[in-house]
Amino acid sequence: MELTDLEEGDSVVLEIKWGDHPYQIGTTVIGRKDASLLVLPFKYKGTVLDLGSVHFRNMFFNLYGMDKKSDTRLVWRNVQIEAKMYKNEMLYAVRTSSSRKFPAVSDRRQNKRMLLDIRAKVISAEDGRGIPVVLHDVSDSGLSFYVKRGQQFTDKVIRLEFEDTVHGHSFHLAIDSRFVRRVEKDVQDLVGCQILKSDRDFLSYVCLKKMQTVAENKFSKAVAEAKHTKEMQKEDKREERNRD
């Protein structure tokens, strides 16, 4: 099965990999043109993110799809992405090199959680009041938060709201999730939840937040390495003076 054997209407997953931080976007096959597969693009506030442009360097893309004959999940690795107009609609044209045109069998793995530790609140369905919590981490499908020891939630569905700013974009998010577990941690409880539905705004937030976190980690590492190099140079100079 080749990439262009996927059919119009098929659900596929586009995976963005930047360092060790993968992010997956569910999308749909619209058709094919020449040797490219056409899929719905990733949008943020109505604008298509041109993932193939120079603004998204050092990223790698994988595409996951199903072989319906064998009921097997397949992955085409290191595909190329280009935003193109097709019938008055901006789409992603996905293509692969001749050496990678045949996919590998893929196993399903859960997305890694991203640490946040930011203020949030759980909204009570009974009276609408906000219960203060600390959102510990999130992924595309789950989250966990810290709450005061003994705080009970009678609602079957927990609505968690929080605000954050990423790359100059302000996010005001409300996430509905189902209670999964509670773990006692010192004076607080850690509550784990399964997200019921990840809308576009939330997926955009997770994607951009991961990118920002990776960039900040790289910058911090570069600063630390530069500081270490400078200290080593000073030490070398002191040793030279002592020898003289």
**CATH number of the CATH domain containing 136:** 2.40.10.220
Same domain, 92 and 11: yes
Same domain, 121 and 101: no
- Of the candidates 77, 214, 158, the residue with the CA atom closest to the CA atom of residue 206: 214
pTM of the model: 0.49
Q: Which domain holds residue 96?
A: 3-105
Euclidean distance between CA atoms 34 and 48, whole angstroms: 22
Same domain, 156 and 94: no
Per-residue pLDDT reduced to its tens digit, 121-146: 998 776 678 899 999 998 877 899 99
Q: Name 85's Cβ contacts closer than 8 Å, sequence gap at least 6.
A: 91
Question: Residue 162 falls within a domain, yes or no?
Answer: yes
Residues of the chain with pLDDT under 70: 19-21, 52, 54-57, 99, 106-112, 126-127, 215-229, 232-233, 236, 239, 243-244
Euclidean distance between CA atoms 24 and 92, whole angstroms: 15
Residue 136: the pLDDT is 93
Euclidean distance between CA atoms 100 and 6, whole angstroms: 15
Same domain, 62 and 151: no
Same domain, 13 and 58: yes
Same domain, 68 and 96: yes
- Of the candidates 13, 210, 223, the residue with the CA atom closest to the CA atom of residue 116: 210
Question: Residue 213 falls within a domain, yes or no?
Answer: no
Beta-bridge partner residues of 72 = 67
Residue 200: the pLDDT is 73
Handedness of CA 199, 203, 206, 208 (dihedral sign): negative
Residue 113: the pLDDT is 75
Look at the chain and report how many structural domains it folds into. Answer: 2
Residue 173: the pLDDT is 92
Residue 65: the pLDDT is 86
